[in-house]
Amino acid sequence: MDPLTLWLIVGGALVALLAIVGLVAVNRRAALRRAAEQKELPPAPRPPGAPGESEGGGVAAPPAPELERPAEPTLPEVVAEPEVPVLERPEPPRSRLARLRQRLAGSDNALSRGLLALLSRDRIDEETWEDFEDTLLTSDLGVGPTTELVEALRSRLRVDGVADSAQARAVLREEMVRLVDPTLDRSLNTQRTDTPAVVLVVGVNGTGKTTTVGKLARVLVAEDKDVLLGAADTFRAAAADQLETWGSRVGVPTVRGAEGADPASVAFEAVRAGIEGEVDVVLIDTAGRLHTKTGLMDELGKVKRVVEKKAPVSEVLLVLDATTGQNGLTQARIFAEVVQVTGIVLTKLDGSAKGGIVVQVQRELGVPVKLIGLGEGVDDLAPFDAEVFVDALLDTGSPATAE
């Protein structure tokens, strides 16, 4: 090997060795620098209360334990009890009869005046009978019942003779009671069977129909019956609110629909709710239909048909204003053609009413007056009693009927 080649090999080896030594030195300096930086970092903070070194380099004493403070006494939370509405106690039917009799006896209607005028005469002549007949006709007794009563009285007083006014009063009472007919069944069919008894209340606007439904609910509650109201008068805005108010006073719920809803649908839902709730009686207030509007009257028939898909209708009560006279009788005939009326409720039979309407409406429809209203009081509705009615007009004070 020539000398030049040898020197090149040795020189290359020396250069490689120097490069390796330099790389090792650089790596070592970097390692020493990293170690120095780690030594200069502050120690990690110790958690509070942890044992460690004190500022002087010694071991710090553990912190003194905190004393537990006694818990403050807590007062019991006062929870306000929900306010329970106070329900009214309706007046029993028996005491209503006695009070209503007093109201009737104190009234000054045409029939009462005519009867008492007849009894006050010392001598009953033809002119007296004519005056008496005119009085009966103006009291809405009707031509047929008036003729019947006058002929019966003339016959009996002529045949039997009249010793005094007490005897005449007794004869008059007998004939009047017979005319009003105490044999009619005036009981309300409100007995529950497999389904609740369903009572439809019908009538024109202004007769006090919705109020009568509310008062009838009170009569039934006083007899310990479980009642539910159906507000099927959806055309009068305040009807459902009015009915709901009546029911809430005695704890009776009301089923109602939106204003303008289908009355038959509301009545159907009321009966369904009554069946599910196992109530005794469902009272349904219908719209106050004018008897001259055929479409509305047809709708009333629809209400009855729809209700009977759930339960039979036990009663259809027609509410009549006793002061309307012949117009009331016209209404009664039309309603009887649409639904099978089973009873009459006479409202406003106070001092301004003509008591003869009781007899005439029974004759026209062949159904009894079952309830009578004499005032604005919440319990001024009572079962009608023929003898109590006549005794009040004559003010006989019969102990048998004053109870």
Contact 316, 322 (CB under 8 A): no
212 annotated among ligand-binding-site residues: no
Q: Take residue 386 and report the two structure tokens written for it.
A: 């023929």
Query: Binding site annotation covers 286?
Result: yes
Q: Which residues pair with 283 in a beta bridge?
A: 199, 229
CA dist., res. 355 & res. 366, Å (int) = 18
Residue with tokens 């009321």: 270
Distance, in Å, from the CA atom of 2 to the CA atom of 13, rounded to the nearest integer, reads: 17
Q: Is 289 annotated as a binding residue?
A: yes
Helix crossing, 294-307 with 326-338: angle to 10°? 50
Is residue 207 a known part of a binding site? yes
Smallest CA-to-CA distance from 349 within 218, 142, 181, 207 is with: 207
CA 15 to chain centre: 114
205 marked among binding-site residues: yes
CA dihedral 148, 149, 154, 157 (to 10 degrees): 140
Is 146 labeled as ligand-binding? no
Is 287 known as a binding-site position? yes
Q: Is 210 annotated as a binding residue?
A: yes
Alpha carbons 14 and 30: distance in angstroms, whole number: 25
349 annotated among ligand-binding-site residues:
yes
- Between CA 254 and CA 300 the distance in angstroms is 20
- Is residue 203 annotated as involved in ligand binding? yes
- Measured CA to CA in angstroms, residue 116 lies from 122, 132, 152, 368, 393 at distances of 12, 10, 17, 26, 9
Q: Does the annotation list 285 as a binding residue?
A: yes
208 marked ligand binding residue:
yes
**Binding-site residues from annotation:** 203-210, 285-289, 347-350
**Binding-site residues from annotation for GTP:** 203-210, 285-289, 347-350
